[in-house]
Amino acid sequence: MGFDSVSASTKPTQIPTQEEDPSSPCASLLSFNTAPHHKNTATSVIFSSLILVACIALSAASAFALLLFSSSSAPRTGASFASLQTTSRPLTKLNRPVVLLISSDGFRFGYQFKTHTPNIHRLIANGTEAETGLIPVFPSLTFPNHYSIVTGLYPAYHGIINNHFDDPKTGEVFTMASHEPKWWLGEPLWETVANHGLKAAAYFWAGSEVHKGSWTCPQDFCMVYNGSVPFDERVDTVLSYFDLPTSEIPVFMALYFEDPDHQGHKVGPDDPEINEAVAGIDRMIGKLIDGLEKRGVFEDVTIIMVGDHGMVGTCDKKLIFLDDLAPWIDIPADWVQSYTPLLAIRPPPGFAPSDVVAKMNEGLQSGKVQNGKNLKMYLKEKLPSRLHYAASARIPPIIGMVDEGYTVEQKGTKRQECGGAHGYDNALFSMRTIFIGHGPQFARGRKVPSFENVQIYNLVTSILNIQGAPNNGSVSFPSAVLLPDPHKF
């Protein structure tokens, strides 16, 4: 779901598309360590399935990595890979590091191989890439993830636990247009930067319009969300910041594009319409690189390109209807905070959540509910701890884990069920997005294993050489991924 959907609908309009092959050998690929296994399958596959394409890239990259290791004596330790560079490159024009954080909504890992993306590949070739993609936080939705990227916190701790939710204490409703500081916990990067007396800028990012700490969403450096603003205009504005006197250039800039999420929902991840949207994003990256090169700062500026989550096809009658559970328990629509892929239920007082969970699971497991086995209900405290989705009163007590590509609805409708969705378990490969870092502290041509987006906050504060707020990223992550800066102490 992109920023454009301010109506906060959880049910995107959908039209038919192809579904990807769930039996794909890579469908279960979850971590970098399983990659070399796929090496031999790479050559003969037709480039029709996104997952297969991702596999091929993965295999090629793994083969490359193996070559690299066999030809050098560098030990393969933990998350770090061999690199020819040992320290960061000095700045030549700017007087301090500048980080430009770019998000392309719904840029599923693998999209970069679907079509010609010369500019993105230029960043990859001379930068550091998460070889098997960036792992979103759960739920793999737009607002929770964008805010995790800039705070380093899991949604339970930054407060944006869904794209829309109710505050159980006050009954107030959060939507993607809510900018009151009370909703937005944690310390986003623009606030951290402002708290250090430095300048930041944000061209549309979840939470950027919220006044927090020293951050006041300053005019001309913080844009009020308007999804109709052409991407070119956004890029031109960001580039214009580099025409300011050096001391006035914001040291942190965030830039957001709604594509290709928008197309992914409509047609699913395998449709040619995605290729066009991806090519459009690549053109914007090209325009940025050109603009920075013309100003002589491309090699000085740190570009971090990410997405918020991936995308998976939803089709083939993979539907689950809550009304089918009526023989076991009635789940009225007003108990349901969101349906799909994040099923979140808050029963009224008088109904014990554990009872509701037990009855729902009994029905789902009975074999009498269509696709019932593809939904499992949990008390939030009993969710797998890796999801970190419990420690907030805003999270409803009952959460359903929906299998990949399945959709939960109250009851059957005549709506077309095919399209694309995200919000599923963040361990699914289809939910992964991209991470590319290019700049003085990123080694050229380096691949690092996948990591969760909560690591990015510490990465940025480390590059900017400022003290960040406490968060859920690991303190040692920046030194595992960045080139050491000999000028830092």
Ligand X SMILES: *[C@@H]1O[C@H](CO)[C@@H](O)[C@H](O)[C@H]1NC(C)=O
Which residues are catalytic, by number?
Answer: 142
Give 134's strand partners: 433, 451
Range 160-192 burial, b when 16+ CB lie within 10 A, else e: bbbbbbeeeeeeeebebebeeeebbbbbbbbbb
For the CB of residue 416, give the shortest distance to ligand X in the complex, in Å.
30
CA atoms of 300 and 96, how far apart (whole Å): 9
User: What is the number of alpha carbons within 13 Å of residue 70 lying toward its C-beta?
Assistant: 6
Question: Of the ranges 82-90, 186-194, 257-265, 268-276, which one interacts with Zn ion (CB under 5 A)?
Answer: 257-265
Closer to Zn ion by CB, 340 or 461: give it.
340
Residue 261 binding: pick among ligand X, Zn ion, none (C-beta 5-8 Å cut-off by kind): Zn ion
148 near ligand X, judged by CB under 6 A: no
How many CB atoms within 10 Å of residue 261?
Answer: 30
Question: Please, are residues 309 and 104 in contact by the beta-carbon 8 Å criterion?
Answer: no
| Beta strands per DSSP E along 157-230 | 165-166, 173-174, 200-203
6 near ligand X, judged by CB under 6 A: no
Question: Please, are residues 292 and 98 in contact by the beta-carbon 8 Å criterion?
Answer: no
467 near ligand X, judged by CB under 6 A: no
226 near ligand X, judged by CB under 6 A: yes
Task: Tell which positions 331-360 bind ligand X, by CB under 6 A.
Answer: none
383 near ligand X, judged by CB under 6 A: no
CA atoms of 204 and 432, how far apart (whole Å): 22
CA atoms of 289 and 359, how far apart (whole Å): 56
Contact with ligand X (CB under 6 A) among 65, 99, 134, 153: 153
157 near ligand X, judged by CB under 6 A: yes
256 near ligand X, judged by CB under 6 A: no
Contact with ligand X (CB under 6 A) among 15, 74, 125, 326: 125
How many residues in the shown chain lie near ligand X by CB under 6 A?
A: 12
Residue 224's contacts (CB-CB under 8 Å, 6 or more residues apart) are 209
Closer to ligand X by CB, 326 or 475: give it.
475
Which residue type occupies 19?
Answer: E
Contact with Zn ion (CB under 5 A) among 261, 404, 417, 425: 261
Closer to ligand X by CB, 87 or 370: give it.
87
Instruction: State CA 55 to chain mean position distance.
Output: 20
1 near Zn ion, judged by CB under 5 A: yes
For the CB of residue 453, give the shortest distance to Zn ion in the complex, in Å.
15
219 near ligand X, judged by CB under 6 A: no
412 near ligand X, judged by CB under 6 A: no
470 near ligand X, judged by CB under 6 A: yes
CA atoms of 401 and 479, how far apart (whole Å): 35
Contact with ligand X (CB under 6 A) among 472, 478, 481, 482: 472
Question: Please, are residues 254 and 214 in contact by the beta-carbon 8 Å criterion?
Answer: no
For the CB of residue 101, give the shortest distance to Zn ion in the complex, in Å.
19
Residue numbers at the binding site for Zn ion (CB under 5 A): 1, 261
